[in-house]
Structure 1
Amino acid sequence: MAGIRVLTLTADGVQTHAVAEVGALLAPPGALVWVDIPECTEEAISLLTDVLGCHPPAVRDCMQRNRVPRVRIYPHQQLLIMHGPERGPSGHVHYLELDQIIGDKYVVTVHGPINPALSPEVALRETDGARRRLESGRLKPDSPYELAYAITSSLIHRLETFIEEVTTDVWHLEQRVTGGHMGNPEEFLEELFQARHG
């Protein structure tokens, strides 16, 4: 999995930096820094705690799997815990966690923990998409909140698409039931189970 990515966003564009530079990057007035953490390693925990001064409960939430989305408001920071769905085999749905810590000059995105059955690229889809839009100039946030909104909007779009797909599956099953065209009963029950699971 890729390492921690640190970006600064200015009127001149996007620049990539080393993790060790984060403290200095936040010093100038008007700084806007994005730190994307693919997995909450010891290096990431040190960055969150020692450099960014994140609140211990926020760091703990970034380290563990959270079952439900949440919003936590701390002095100088907000924590958003969100989930995006990813279809697995046999109707199984994986929930990909994406946590955001939003400060006055930065956004930190923390992915996971990620199920080993999924590729890291799937978990990084929204943040990679936002990064590409930044680099191309299509996304030009003026504040950490605008950047967080763009990332959150991508995740919501994925959720909407997923719900539309599942709804379509259910609709087709209902049509087969009402039309009396269920086919093989065992296969149909398996399809019903997968739709229910989704």
Structure 2
Amino acid sequence: MGVIARDGEHEVEIQRSRFRCVVARIDDVDEATALIARVRKEGPDANHHCTAMRIGDPETGRLIARSNDDGEPGGTAGAPMLEVLTRRDVTDVVAVVSRWFGGTKLGAGGLIRAYSGVLAETLDLVGRLRRVRHRELMLSVPHDRAGRVENDLRNSPYVLRDIDYGADVTFTVAVTDVAPFEDWLAERSAGEIEAVDAGPCDLYLP
């Protein structure tokens, strides 16, 4: 599963009809609704603003998947767009394709190809990041040892996410497998530093 690497837009012309696709990464339905409203405002003269969104994680069963044909014949716009998002395995995304009718009817097949095609091209342009599940671990060390620990972490295969300077220095690290990290840490600290599991986290990687 992944997310789009960045927001973006793309436009094509098919038999004198103009299709403009906008995609954006979002966290919830409210953000998706706001993006759709913004696109409508930017193109008030468009004949249709067809939409598709996928939000959440299908692995946990908390996935919202919606589409809207916005006046196009049923199943020719929003549903094919949603199918593209599903095939590309991207989530937390909303797509809006605005159409300015050019006078030539495309037929059901032509509409499906147009709406799904412009979205697929837009996704190619913005790129995709993989979502990789990690565990977040926290290490607290005295200030006089922090420099060495930081240097070791930065030269390790693990992801140093945050450093907090308080009474001690706390490092937040993301790992895909806890046991090898604990072995690595024990070797470098002679078993004097322990990692506290702070729970799961997701990282987005190319």
Alignment TM-score, normalising by the size of structure 1: 0.36
Q: Which has the higher contact order (CA 8 A, sep 6+)?
A: 2
Alignment TM-score, normalising by the size of structure 2: 0.35
Q: Which has the higher helix share?
A: 1
Q: Which has the higher strand share?
A: 2
Which has more radius of gyration? 2
